[in-house]
Structures are given as C-alpha cells and as structure tokens.
Amino acid sequence: MSAVTDWNALDDDSFRQQVRSFFRANYPEELRYPKTRLRWAQIRDWYLTLSKQGWLTPAWPTRYGGMGLEPSKLIIFYEEIELHGVGRAPDMGITMVGPLLIQNGSEEQKDYYLPKILSGEHIWCQGYSEPNSGSDLASLRTEAVLDGDEFVVNGQKTWTTLAQDATHIFMLVRTDKSAKKQEGISFLLMDVTTPGIERRPIRNLAGHEEFCECFFRDVRVPKANLVGEINRGWTIAKALLGFERISIGGPKQSQYAIARLEELASHLGLESDAGFMDAYARLKLDVLDHAALYTRFIDQVRRGEKLGSDVSMLKVIGTETYQKISQLLIETAGSAGGLVDDVEMAGEDFDWLTSYYNARPATIYGGSNEIQRNILASQVLGLPS
Amino acid sequence: MSAVTDWNALDDDSFRQQVRSFFRANYPEELRYPKTRLRWAQIRDWYLTLSKQGWLTPAWPTRYGGMGLEPSKLIIFYEEIELHGVGRAPDMGITMVGPLLIQNGSEEQKDYYLPKILSGEHIWCQGYSEPNSGSDLASLRTEAVLDGDEFVVNGQKTWTTLAQDATHIFMLVRTDKSAKKQEGISFLLMDVTTPGIERRPIRNLAGHEEFCECFFRDVRVPKANLVGEINRGWTIAKALLGFERISIGGPKQSQYAIARLEELASHLGLESDAGFMDAYARLKLDVLDHAALYTRFIDQVRRGEKLGSDVSMLKVIGTETYQKISQLLIETAGSAGGLVDDVEMAGEDFDWLTSYYNARPATIYGGSNEIQRNILASQVLGLPS
Amino acid sequence: MLDTATEAERSDQLRLLADSATAFASGRLSLARARKLRGEKPEFDPAMLAELAGQGWTGLLLPEELGGFGLGFAEAAVVIDSVAGQLAPEPLVPVAVLAAGVLRRCAAGERRDALLGGIADGSVIPGLAWQNATGGLDPADPAFTATVQGEGWSVSGQARFVRPGSGATHFLLAARSDKGIELLVVEAGSDGLKLVSEAQADGTSLARISVEGLRVAADAHLSLSAADFAAAIDEAVLMNAVELLALLRRMRTMTQDYLKTRVQFGKPIGSFQALQHRAVDLLIQEELTAACLNQAIAAFDAGSCSVDERSSYASRAKARAAEAAMWTAREAMQMHGGIGVTDEYELSLYVNRTLALAPWLGNASAHRRRYVRLNPPKAGSDA
Amino acid sequence: MLDTATEAERSDQLRLLADSATAFASGRLSLARARKLRGEKPEFDPAMLAELAGQGWTGLLLPEELGGFGLGFAEAAVVIDSVAGQLAPEPLVPVAVLAAGVLRRCAAGERRDALLGGIADGSVIPGLAWQNATGGLDPADPAFTATVQGEGWSVSGQARFVRPGSGATHFLLAARSDKGIELLVVEAGSDGLKLVSEAQADGTSLARISVEGLRVAADAHLSLSAADFAAAIDEAVLMNAVELLALLRRMRTMTQDYLKTRVQFGKPIGSFQALQHRAVDLLIQEELTAACLNQAIAAFDAGSCSVDERSSYASRAKARAAEAAMWTAREAMQMHGGIGVTDEYELSLYVNRTLALAPWLGNASAHRRRYVRLNPPKAGSDA
C-alpha cells in the first residue's frame, strides 16, 4: 500500500511509473487483454486488490475514499490501464453510482452505499434501456408509483450489462405519466434480490452472456432509494455523461484489433501483397488519426475545459474504424474466416471472429452512431431539424 | 437509302447488321466517342444524314416519319449507337417533343412541328428546372398568365441543355397559383427568338458550356402553343418518362470509363500491382453486374412490360460506379492527376479529368440520386415517410 | 432436357419446382430445427438429407441413367434457395453439387455409379477433401499426394475446410499424382484417417482430414482431368453464391420489415431518411447479386462457355454474393440495434450462417482476384 | 526561438500571426483575383508574391541571418492556411517551403545566400525540378544526371511537375552524380533550358523542364545530402497538406451554409437526415485531418524525429488531407446540386484547386503506400 495520498502532487512521470509498476506486479497475467468482458468471478480478486490499494475509484474525491485525481492524472491512470491490458471490472458503481450520489445523493445514501462499492459488497448494474426505448431513451415506460413509503415498480429493462453479477441496480423510472417525456422520470436505486425482480441473461450472437433483461413485477422499493428530487432523474443522469463521453470514443479497441491484424499479416507474409497493404494502410492511418483526434479532446480535458457535443465524433469514427478492421481481419483469414475462437494458421493461433463480434454492438450502444450523427448535425453543424 | 420500311419484320441479326453497316459507313470517324457533348455545328451533318435515311426518329410511328421500331429492335438500334460511339445529337425534339405531341398534341401542332424536327429546322431544348426548383421540380414558379389569345410568360429556367443551339423550347409553366403544386402546371411550346427571352450559357467547372439559363420577361406566346389541357402539364410530362428512365441508367458511361482505366493500367503495367488490381476488380465487377441488372430491365422492356419504380436503381448504381471509376482514374494517374485534357504518360496520351468532370452531374441530373433513393425507399421498399 | 424444352416450358417447370421447394421448406425446415442442430455432431440430420433426396434434390443435377433428373443449374438454384433460406444445415451444395459434380466427371464404373446412386437416394454423403491448410483454391494443386503402390494407391497429406466432416459417410481425397488428379474414396471412420472438426460461426463445422501413407485399393480409385475437377468446383462456387443470395435476401427483408414496425421518437424508424437510403443500397446490392447470378446460371446452363469463362462467371457471382451478404449482415444488425445482435432473434442465425458460407471455397476478395487474373485489364476492350 | 518560447507565448504569437494573415488575405487576396488569374502566363502575380514577402511570409522558415524569421511550421501553417483559403495562385509552398527548404540545407555560400535572401524579399522565385516524367517520388533518385566537366558541370534530363514553371526566376535542377545529390541553379530563360507548360484543373500549370548536356558554372552548383533533400521535400508535403485542409474546410463550410439556406420541398435541405449524416462525415474528416496535421507539425517543430519518422508524419498528413479534400469536393458538389458544378459559383474554384493540389508531390494513395513501406505491419506492436 502506498503511503502517498496526494497523487496530484507527483510529477506525471513518477505517477505513471508507480501506476505501471503496481499493475505489473499485481494484475493477473492471464487476464491481460481479455477478449470478452470478464465476469465477476474472474475479476473479483483484482477488484479487491485495487480496493485495498485505495485505487478502485481514481476519480472520486479523497474524502469518499477515492484518489481524487485531477484530469491529467486521471488520463495517465486510464492510459496505463489500457497499455497493460487491464480488464474492465463491473464499474457501474465506480463510474456511475458513486459520482452520482456524491453529486445528488443524501448524506444517508452516501454513507450507506459508497463504502459498500469500495468494499466490493455492492456490485451495481444500470437499468436505463427498455425494449421499446433504445435510441429514444426518454420514452421509457417502466413505472414507479408511490404507495405510502414505497414505490411500486412495474416494467422491463434490457441491455443491462452483467446484471447477473450485480447485487444492485440503478434505474430510470417513470414517475409522472402526464409530464413531457423527459420531465416525468426519476432515479431509483434497488437491491436486485427484492421480490418481483427477475433477471434473464441475453445470449448474444457470439454465444456470450454479457447482458440481461430485467423484469419488474410489483417490486416494492423504499422511497428512501430515490436519488435527488422526484421527476428530476433525467437531468441527474444526463449530468453524469462527462468523462464517459470521451472514453467511449477512445482508440483502444481499434488499436488492439489492428495489432491482431498486423500479427496475422506479418505471420502470413502479406507485406509483399500490395492489395492487402493498401487496405491495411487506410485502416492504419484511420487508427492513428483517430488517436490524434482523441488526444486533442483529452488535452481539452487535461486543461480542465468542458467537452462539447463535438466529442461525439470520436465514438463515430472510432467504432467504425474498429468494425472495418474486424472485417479486414476476416477477409485476410480467407477460407478460414468463418472459424470461431482460436484458429490455427500456418502454425500459430489467431482469433478474428471475436473482434468481429465485439465490434458489432460498439456502433449501437452508448447512443447509436445514428444518434451521434444526429447530435453532431444539429448541435455542431447547426443543421435544422 | 434503304428500301425496307418494315424493320420489325427483319430478324434481329439482320437488323443489327444493317444498322451497324450504316453507322460504319456514314458516321464521321473523328466524332466517335466524343468526350463532351457535341454542339449543333459539329453534329448537324449527321443529324441530316440520319434524317435523310429515315432513321432520325427510330421510336416514332412510321406515319409520322419514324421507323416505328418495336422495343426489341429499338434496343438493338441504341446498342449499336453505343457500340459505335455515335455522339448524341440535340435530341429533345426526337425523344421528348415528338412523342409528347404524338400523344397529346393537336393535329395542327403535329402537322406543324413534327416535320420540322425531322428536317432539322427546329431544334428543341427543355425548360423544366428552375433555380429554386431542382429536386423539387413541382415547385416551379415561371408563370404564364393568359391575356387574350396569348400567354404572358415571366420567370427563369436553368440547366437548359444546349439552349444556345436550340430554335425552340418546351416548358413547364405555372398557370394556376392557387392549385396544389402539381395541378397548376401547363406544358407550353415556344420559339426561342420570341422577344423577352434571354439565354445565357452556364460555364461548368470543366470550362464547357453545355447548359444555359433562360430568362423570360413578358414573353408573349400564342395560346395555340399550349399542349394538352391547361393545368395538365405535369401529368403530360410525367407520362413521357418511359424509355428515358432506363436509358439514364445504362452502363455505357461506366463501360467507356473503365475501358479508359484499362488502357491506362495496361500501358503502365499495373497488372502486377495487386493494390491497383484489387481496386480495379471491384469496379470492373460493379460495371459487369450493373450491366447484368440493366439487361434484366431491358428484357422487361423487350417483353413489352411496363417498368416499375425499381428502375431507379439502375441510375443510382450506374452513375455512382461511373464516378468511382473516374476517381480511380485520377488516382492511377498519380502526380499527373491534376493535369487537364490529353496528358502524355509514358509516350501515350490519356485524359482522366474529362471523365471526372463528366461523372459529376450524372448523379445530379435526371432526378438526383438522393431523389432516386427516396423513390426506391417509398415506392419499392414501402418505407413510411 | 435442357436442350429441348422451350423457354416458356422451362420457366413453367421452374415455377412448379419453386412452389414445391417453398412448400417443403416451410413445412419441414423450420428455423427452430436449424437452431437446435447448432453444435451437434453431426450438425445436420442425415434423415433430413434423405428426405431431401426423396424430393429428388440431391440428384437434381445428375443424369437420369445415374438415378438423377438431369436438370440444370436454374433448377438447382431454386431448390438451394429454399433450403438455404430456412438455414437447413444439411450439406446440399457440398454433396449434391460439389461431390456429385466431381464424381460424375470421373470415368464411369461400378464404384462411381454406386456413389452417385447413393447421393441421389441420400444413402451416401461424401465430403470432398481438396483444399490445403491455408485455403489454397487451385484445383490443379489439391491437398493430397498419391502414388501407385502395388495393386492400389498410397495417399498422404492434410486437407482443410472439408464439408461435410462429421456426418459424412465417405471422403473423396483429391490428390496429385504423376499423371494428374486422382480421387481416392475412403469410408468415414476408416483406420488411418484422422478427422479434426473446426467449429464455425453458425454451429456447423469444417473438417481437417489427414492421412499418412494410407493404402487405398485400386477399386476405390477414380480419376479425372484437372479441368473437369475445376469445373465441378466452379459449379459449387456458383451454387454457394445462390445460398448467400438466399441469406442476404432474408436478412434484407427482415430489416425492411423491422424498419416499418420499430417505433422510436414517435415514428417508425424506416421514416428516417438516412436509414431509408441505406436500406435502398442493400436492395440494390440484392438486385445486382440476383442479376449477376442469373446471368452466370444461364451461361452455365447454356453450356457454351470455355473453362475460363465459367470460372469467371463463378468468381463474379461469388464475389458479389459474398460481399453483398456480408454487407447486408452488418447493416441488418446495425439497423436492428441491440436486438440484432442477440442469439434469440433470428437475424443472428442468418448472420452466423453468412459468416460461415461467405469464406467457403474462397471469399469475395479471393474471387475478385481470380476474376481479374483470368481477365486482366487491356487496352482496346471497347470500340 | 522555438526552443525558448513557452507554450503560452507561442500560442499568443500564433494567434497574432493568424489575425494578421486573415486580415491580409481578406483584404488583398480576393477570389475574384484568383478567378481572373486562371490560365494567365504566369498564372500568379509576381507583385503579389513580393507583397507576401513583404509580410515576411516567404522568409518565415528561414533563419534570421539569412533574412528570415526563424519561425516554425506551426507559424508557416497559419500563413499558408490563410493564403490557400483565398485560392491565391502564388507559389508560396513551392518557393518558401520546398525551394527554400532545399537551399537552406545546402552548404552556405554566396550563391546560396543570395538566393535565400531573394526568396525572403520576394525577388527570387525558384522552381525545384526533381520529379521524373511518371512522377517518381524518391528524392534519392532525382530527374537529372550531372557530371563534372572542366570547371563546371554538365546536366541532362527531364523533370516534370515543376512549380512554379512560368513565372519562375530560377530553376533548381536536382541531379544525381557520382557523389550524391547536386543542385544546379539555372536562370529561367537560359539557353538550352526547355520549358513546356502543362495545364492543371485550377488554371495554373506545371512545367516540364528538359536540358541536354547543359553547361552550368561551378558557382551555380550546390550540393546536399540525400537525407537533407528528402527532409525538405517532406516539409513541402506537410505544408501542401495544410493547403488542402484550408480548401476542404472552406468547401465543407460552404456546403454547411448551403444546406441551411437551400429550400426544397418546403424545407431547408439540411433538415434531410441522409444529407445531415453525410455532412457530419465530412466534419469528421476535417477534424481528423486537422488533428493529424497538428500532430505532424508539432513533431516537425519539436525537431526530435528521425528522418523516417518525419517522412511518416508527412505521408500520414498528405494521405489524410488529400483523401479528405477529394471526398469533400465530391460531396460538396453533390449536395449543392447543379450549381455546385458551375464555373460561376465559387465552389468550383475550390474543387479545381483541390484537383490540382491533391496529386502534387504524391497523391493520397502514394503516400499511404509510403507510410506502410516505412512502417510495415509486424507482430507484437502492442502490449
């Protein structure tokens, strides 16, 4: 455990060095660069290691048990996570519930929930999307009706990432059906073991179960689980989208995928195939230029500036580049392109379909790329609707 | 001059052979495969040659001086025109005014105008588009107000192909401002020397003048120049779009452009450049498959079936393939790609920018590709608006 | 029969065949069945293959004297379209087109005729083993080598991408010898025949077949010319393109329907112009594919093409169909949003089948390359 | 100066420079002027080039002791952006970046210093002649050959794509010799120097320069290393990318404005989602270009890159800028409809300048290839 607590006082290089050394010394080698999302059973030990180190919540203020990192240090921390290939732990408590409670929660809520996130006792999942409310999230219909000191919740959530590993869920629910759609929504916390909640894993086309559907039938939730004022949930939730908006547009996935492509190509001796090289060159430069654009936005964050709507373009170009790389990977695999998992090619194993599968939802979740383009058209280009 | 007049009685091969021989014997060698639209002064002799042969108006009924070809023969006739690289004469009289008058004109109009088209005395141009009515043609505002026995016309037309070579113009004009936009439009014929008409050539970005703007200030036109009923012009004009809709989607331009690309590539020895070959292969197959699809529609015409809205897809894919080829041509020219007209490359002359320039308006005129996609979406896919 | 029937007669016959194929497919080949067979060993139902044979579909292309129907590729395409559209995992193209196409080009004889008769009645399910481990596509250079040894032959080598693998009753090992192409017929499960399954995206598998000095009796040896061998492969490539067209058409239609019914922001999402235009682009790709395939099928059925022309048609067809199907799969998923990437929704079954069928016998990129290798750009190709 | 100024100081200076460049460009460099100069001989105004020199812009990158300002590429980019944005045909990049960059890398001496001083004050307008007739881009293999002859040199060869051609006061003939790269300085109009103009899309021209056994005196001979020669070319490539960014930004902005004002079907066409999404894609390309160029410029100014790293940055920048500019040109024309392809509307001036500048010193495709040649894919590049 490190004695230093004022991380911001360190110079960038020393800080980076400390983070890197810790990851190298403590993160399990076999979990580096995981191909699919890790389950709680796999990542739990690392979660607790980070917690013990005091590094679980780098962005939280120190008084709540966080590292209190300023933006430039936070960026370094995340860069090192990516460089070392550290897997993503269930982080909804860390990145969403924590900051949200710190901003909007009551003292009781903070005192009760925050320590349990740090300890790993509570694992959170997010209940926003519904079957009929995807791109149009504000049309959500899961309803919470106040009955005495309890809300009675009925409805369905979907695309709930790793709900099967969670102990708690935070939700947007409709508490006023008569109001304009954004104005009748509240933010509610819930123990997933509350009677009336059913979680059903959704198998994706690769055969994995990263998401769940959650069904709510007359689920009774204490009124005290409301965060902020009633019918103000939309505003509360929107305010959270700060750093998240840039991390979804990062170059990590593309860089990882193009490294796989480079390995395959160099193994197959494709440097001398001008056709492959032309296709590869386009994507390589897309990755590099996307990373350059990402750096431009990161510099903005580092300088403490607020990000505008233009940050949406990072997600659009980043995820589409990722998809194109995954397509070229399959194409490069030739007749073997339809084989799953690790596939032997001229004496070495490669896995192209996992990249292809992982790249698919990237343009759908976190606001589909169509929605991002709508935002850019109206808010950045000022085009009329 | 051929003695045979019942062309349809000939078998296809003999007919094709006769057409081919005539073109070979009579069409000026130096005008084959013209790179830009020919002017009247260049093509006049050929127009008169065709006229003398009785072949100027292959689709018109014989009693009006046409060849009266049935669809399958007509297709052969046009195929041979394309194969031989016969330049397009000012054909608005032949393809538009003639058929329109035959269908909708009064006997006086037919007797007066048709022979003059055949003789080359009248050269027609089309006054449909206006500066503010491009894709949304029905919003046109050039107005014709009845004043005694004359219409008084005020307004402006644009994109009037080769109006500077024309003696007459046929126009859509607004005759009822209070009606729904398609329902207040009439079809009017005009001598371009009528006082109040001013034609101004539009120079395009290649420096050529294929189009004109036409200004109308208190132009007085006899009421007798109205074709069909008043306020029925939209319907009359729309009814014409039969064979036109398929010819705009033909493979000729792409085939011509890819032949230029093949010449350049083979001259530069690019068969061994897998990068070039990959890019070329995509476009070559696009050209071939577009031609296959074109043939499917032509077969429909040959069987005498009516074409549906789905014919729009020919224009979309054909013109976009043409554009892509023109881009690859420039790219293949390397450092010389910005040089205009005939450019020497390793001892031979090539012209890539003309293809590039010609390919640009192809996706704009005749209903922009955006409009074509809208049509396909609503009328073929049945997607809601 | 192809020669004598008039165009109108044939088109009537095709319509009848299409009706009966559609009826059979919708009655007997459910998507639920296809879903259930994923990952099974074998991943298809031999009884269903026998049923298809009972319909006459495994012998469609075989001459009547060998128990077949002597029909053409237009007829085969109609049947394959229906079967592929219902995602039936039964290896119709590998058996009835590829293996049968190779066998019927071998010299007549007891062994050959028995195998072909077995294909026609569904009792024989052969897998042709010819591609090497990196997926080489040159029929003149098959994966095995064969030498005469005593009365019989000795075969060695390893082939990959063999369909069917598990579930096959026989393997046809294509081998080089001093004299040309040899075909060694080996029963599945024979001693010395090593089979490893490689799982595909769609829950089917491809086999790796290895043998080392395997003895094969003289009467299990067939031979054919490299050109005939190539011709059979081109036929399978073309019919594989027909399967891909069936898949892409269904993915596109599902998407078209979804665009009309899925409501967001108070409107069907199909009213959004950006999606409309993308949906139109898929339609155009489908029509290009259909036009290209029909042209190729007509040329194959006309029978007047040179070997290279046939290969060119096959490559054009496969290149277009595979590219268009992969494109349609991506766009279909995107336009469906989250549900489009779930296992539960049927689209994913089509996507995964596309992922498996597009690379088989060479992906779009490989076939574009083959096309231009056969037809290099040259000056003066017009005018 | 670059070393000592703080980041904040420099960014203030850049802002001041940008303001003055913008003011000058909008006051003195009208589009009407650019339009009028098309096809003239010379196709630029030497007096205007002298005015640019008067602003200090032709000597921006030259050291102070040679009459320059010793500024960096960030500063040069600011100026070039303003000048290119107004379509000024004056050869700022060819003279102040390419020729000046080559000359300042030659050994000091009277002739060299006089030329550089002349560039800085606008009296000398040299065109570097180095590419062969098919547009080879290898600086180690320039178009001419030179041999020592008596006291002087003899030069032969033909170069193409020389800017400026007409209007140049001097030509710098880059030649191979036994020893390396030689630079022979020849005055325009000299006997034995043959110049043919080739017209470009934008009304400017490129020159072909041929000489056969031309005698050049010893004092008109300069030499530099192949690496230095390449370095100067990379700088011109990067600044050429800056010009392309200026063009594409203006084309995109014109299109954005047009989408807001052009009404069809009772609505601004910018309300149609398909066009919105395409407009967004252009915005993204512009931002990618800007980010890529800024990174390259910073790396050049930092001065810590290897020769290959500099070439890689230059190629990345040119590849992106040329591709994005050509893309933007096409989409801008399409979204404007008919008016977008008229000579009268200003968009066509930008399109034609793009067509001329994108291929100069290698098009996007050539630079992508150079990038991956310098940085071939290899295993283990991450983790």
| Domain-terminating residue out of B232, B259, B293 | B232
- Alpha helix (H) residue ranges in A27-138: 40-53, 71-84, 92, 98-104, 107-119
| Domain-terminating residue out of C172, C199, C224 | C224
Q: From the list B85, B266, B376, which residue is nearest C377 (CB)?
A: B266
Average pLDDT over residues B94-114: 95
Beta strand C205-216 with C152-162 is antiparallel
| Residue A108, in any domain of the structure | no
Within 8 A by CB and 6+ apart from A259, the residues are: D381, D382, D383
- Domain shared by D10 and D84, yes or no: yes
- Alpha helix (H) residue ranges in D181-306: 226-261, 273-302
Position B134 scores a pLDDT of 87
Give the C-alpha separation, D227 to D102, whole Å: 11
Q: Do D277 and C272 touch (CB under 8 A)?
A: no
| Residue A116, in any domain of the structure | no
- Domain shared by B253 and B371, yes or no: yes
- Domain shared by D78 and D17, yes or no: yes
Question: Closest-CA residue in chain D for C272?
Answer: D273
Residue to test with chain D: of A293, A303, A324, most D Cβ within 10 A:
A293
Position C1 scores a pLDDT of 39
Q: At residue A134, what is the residue type?
A: G
Per-residue pLDDT of D226-253, as tens digits, reads 999 999 999 999 999 999 999 999 999 9
> pLDDT band at A135, cuts 50/70/90?
confident
- Domain shared by B186 and B77, yes or no: no
- Domain shared by B260 and B359, yes or no: yes
Taking any CB pair shorter than 8 Å as contact, residues of chain D touching chain A are 256, 259-260, 267-268, 270-271, 273, 276-277, 279-281, 283-284, 287-289, 291-292, 294-295, 316, 319-320, 365, 368-369, 371-372, 375-383
- Domain shared by B61 and B140, yes or no: no
- Domain shared by D280 and D218, yes or no: no
* ipTM (interface predicted TM): 0.95
As for how many domains chain B has, the answer is 3
Average pLDDT over residues B9-28: 96
Per-residue pLDDT of B240-249, as tens digits, reads 766 667 888 9
Give the C-alpha separation, A115 to A107, whole Å: 13
Per-residue pLDDT of A228-261, as tens digits, reads 999 999 998 887 766 667 888 999 999 999 999 9
Count Cβ–Cβ pairs < 8 Å, chain A vs chain C: 126
Per-residue pLDDT of B34-85, as tens digits, reads 988 899 999 999 999 999 999 999 999 999 999 999 988 998 999 899 899 9
| Residue B254, in any domain of the structure | yes
| Residue B278, in any domain of the structure | yes
As for how many domains chain C has, the answer is 3
Q: Do C342 and A205 touch (CB under 8 A)?
A: yes
Mean residue pLDDT across chain C: 95
Position D337 scores a pLDDT of 95
Question: Which among C234, C240, C239 is positioned nearest to C312, based on CA atoms?
Answer: C234
- Domain shared by C299 and C367, yes or no: yes
Least confident of A126-130, D1-5, D35-39: D1-5
> Which residue has tokens 């096309």?
C371
Task: Specify the pTM.
Answer: 0.95
User: What 3-state DSSP class applies to A343?
Assistant: strand
Q: From the list B32, B286, B381, which residue is nearest C279 (CB)?
A: B381
| Residue A287, in any domain of the structure | yes
> Which residue has tokens 């993915």?
C251
| Residue B144, in any domain of the structure | yes
- Domain shared by B252 and B375, yes or no: yes
User: Is the pLDDT score of C382 beyond 90?
Assistant: no
Contacts of D316 in chain A (CB under 8 A): 285, 288-289
Average pLDDT over residues C176-194: 95
- Domain shared by D261 and D287, yes or no: yes
Q: Do B139 and D265 touch (CB under 8 A)?
A: yes
Q: Do A340 and C364 touch (CB under 8 A)?
A: no
Position B64 scores a pLDDT of 95
Count Cβ–Cβ pairs < 8 Å, chain C vs chain D: 11
Within 8 A by CB and 6+ apart from B326, the residues are: B257, B352, B355, B356, B358, B359
Q: Do C291 and B281 touch (CB under 8 A)?
A: no
| Residue A258, in any domain of the structure | yes
| Residue D379, in any domain of the structure | no
Contacts of C160 in chain A (CB under 8 A): 335-336
Position D202 scores a pLDDT of 97
| Residue D383, in any domain of the structure | no
- Domain shared by D197 and D283, yes or no: no
Position D383 scores a pLDDT of 38
Selected residues 345-374 of chain A with any CB under 8 Å from a CB in chain B? none
Q: What is the dihedral of CA B5, B8, B9, B12, to 10 degrees?
A: 120
> pLDDT band at B2, cuts 50/70/90?
very low
Selected residues 217-276 of chain A with any CB under 8 Å from a CB in chain B? 273-276
Mean residue pLDDT across chain A: 94
Question: Closest-CA residue in chain C for D269?
Answer: C273
Range of the domain at D141: 127-224
Determine the straight-line distance between the first and last CA of chain D, rounded to whole angstroms: 38
> pLDDT band at A304, cuts 50/70/90?
confident
Q: What is the dihedral of CA B174, B179, B183, B185, to 10 degrees?
A: -10
The fraction of chain B above a pLDDT of 70, given in percent, is 98
User: Is the pLDDT score of B329 beyond 90?
Assistant: yes
| Domain-terminating residue out of C182, C206, C224 | C224
Contacts of B87 in chain C (CB under 8 A): none
User: Is the pLDDT score of A377 beyond 70?
Assistant: yes
Q: Check which CATH number belongs to the domain holding A151 and give it.
A: 2.40.110.10
- Domain shared by D148 and D114, yes or no: no
Position D6 scores a pLDDT of 78
Position B241 scores a pLDDT of 65
Position B5 scores a pLDDT of 72
**CA-derived radius of gyration, chain D:** 21
Residue to test with chain D: of C269, C272, C273, most D Cβ within 10 A:
C273
For chain D, list the contacting chains (3+ Cβ pairs, <8 Å).
Answer: A, B, C
Question: Closest-CA residue in chain C for B253?
Answer: C382
Q: Do B277 and C369 touch (CB under 8 A)?
A: yes
Position B239 scores a pLDDT of 78
| Domain-terminating residue out of D224, D245, D269 | D224
Show which residues of A are catalytic: 244
- Domain shared by D292 and D350, yes or no: yes
Range of the domain at A345: 248-380
**CA-derived radius of gyration, chain A:** 22
- Domain shared by D218 and D334, yes or no: no
User: Is the pLDDT score of D380 beyond 90?
Assistant: no
Residue to test with chain A: of D264, D276, D323, D327, most A Cβ within 10 A:
D276
Contacts of A256 in chain D (CB under 8 A): 382
User: Is the pLDDT score of C4 beyond 60?
Assistant: no
Q: Do D270 and A376 touch (CB under 8 A)?
A: no
| Residue B159, in any domain of the structure | yes
Position C346 scores a pLDDT of 97
- Domain shared by D243 and D362, yes or no: yes
| Residue D381, in any domain of the structure | no
Show the CA angle centred on residue C226, arms to residues C225 and C232, nearest 5°.
95
Position B191 scores a pLDDT of 97
Q: Do B279 and A278 touch (CB under 8 A)?
A: yes
| Residue C382, in any domain of the structure | no
> pLDDT band at B238, cuts 50/70/90?
confident
| Residue C13, in any domain of the structure | yes
Average pLDDT over residues C105-127: 96
| Domain-terminating residue out of A46, A69, A89 | A89
| Residue C380, in any domain of the structure | no
Q: Check which CATH number belongs to the domain holding C140 and give it.
A: 2.40.110.10
| Residue C290, in any domain of the structure | yes
Position D4 scores a pLDDT of 52
Per-residue pLDDT of C251-285, as tens digits, reads 999 999 999 999 999 999 999 999 999 999 999 99
Question: Closest-CA residue in chain D for B341?
Answer: D199
